[in-house]
Amino acid sequence: MKVQSTTPFDLNAYTHSQQRTGQANQPTMITGKFDLSHDTDTVEISNASRQLASLDIVNHSAVYFGTVQINESLERLLKGQSSEVKETVYGIIQSNLITDVTEEDGRSALLELGLTQAQYIANNYMKGDQATEFMNTIRQIGAISTTRTINPETKQIQYDTPPQRPVGAPEDYVDLHYMMRKFQPQTYDKLQDAIVNNKDWSSILQNFAKQASKNQAWIKEYHEDAARAAGNLPIPNRFERADMTNPSSFVHSVKETITRTVSPYNKLLIDNIEAFIRKLKPEGNTA
């Protein structure tokens, strides 16, 4: 897709760094909008972008991680739901998707169980397009969770977020932050250093924005990445055949699946599904 003369580039992320926000467990959204003009060969940076801080870094106390679109989707889909359902959904994200579990097998099992718990909510508390969008959103968070890496020096956890398009933005909206991190990681590091140390970060963004707007190969790959991020999460799920007709059947079928295999994570998974049902309070189901 050809970049229009005023293609907006977005730089946004969530950060959960206690050291920089001073608030544990509170996500901070960081946004910036960049308009390119090929006619004048200049870049206009909005006032919002001047609030930038360290990008995409989370620590072990993070309770939620996502993108602008994911956050908007969840807030809209959960509007009108009971407080129990809302808390249960965000509990799935914290306990099953974006977790502190370090072992790959344990994280994979929790992810599969979390997707199944989300499907139970979609089946019993939502209908039609709402249920479909909810599961697509949860799968996107699940996909983000699989990109987890740990900086060997700082021990900070980092997740790669997919390209982001704010609600209401045009179809050709481009996430400049994503492009910089993907195609020029050294420039991305310089940007973060400039932001943290109160240096001239705007010129770094301006120069990269001009370069990105003229690189059709980057833009093509960017849109391919965005299309993949919107698809289903290609992951096998041992719990996908769980009986979701009622709470007791659901818990029973999940526990049966867990106990079929001897695993050091069996107790973790059983405790997780029991906590899910306790938090949900199924007697309040109005579906």
Q: What is the DSSP string of 126-165?
A: --HHHHHHHHHHHHHHHHHHTT-EE-TTT--EE-PPPP--
Q: Residue range 129-156: average pLDDT? A: 87
CA distances from 136 to 104, 114, 243 (A): 23, 13, 21
Lowest mean pLDDT among 80-84, 114-118, 250-254: 80-84
**223 and 207 housed in the same domain:** yes
pLDDT on residue 234: 62
Residue 239 has pLDDT above 90, yes or no: yes
Q: Quote the CA–CA distance of 1 and 115 in Å, as a whole number.
A: 34
Q: Residue range 149-156: average pLDDT? A: 81
- With cut-offs at 50, 70 and 90, classify the pLDDT of residue 82: very high
Give percent of the chain with pLDDT exceeding 90.
38
- With cut-offs at 50, 70 and 90, classify the pLDDT of residue 168: confident
- Does 3 map to a domain? no
Q: Quote the CA–CA distance of 29 and 193 in Å, as a whole number.
A: 19
The number of distinct structural domains making up the chain is 2
pLDDT on residue 228: 62
Q: Residue range 256-274: average pLDDT? A: 94
**103 and 218 housed in the same domain:** no
Domain span at 263: 68-145+233-281
Higher per-residue confidence, 146 vs 231: 146
**128 and 12 housed in the same domain:** no
pLDDT on residue 267: 95
**76 and 137 housed in the same domain:** yes
pLDDT on residue 14: 30
Nearest 5 degrees, angle CA 134-CA 139-CA 142? 135
**176 and 224 housed in the same domain:** yes
258 within 8 A of 269, measured Cβ to Cβ: yes
pTM: 0.64
- With cut-offs at 50, 70 and 90, classify the pLDDT of residue 5: very low
The rounded mean pLDDT for the chain is 75
**Residue environment code for 82-91, b if the CB has 16+ CB neighbours within 10 A, otherwise e:** eebbbebbeb
Q: Residue range 38-43: average pLDDT? A: 38
Residue 185 has pLDDT above 50, yes or no: yes
- Does 1 map to a domain? no
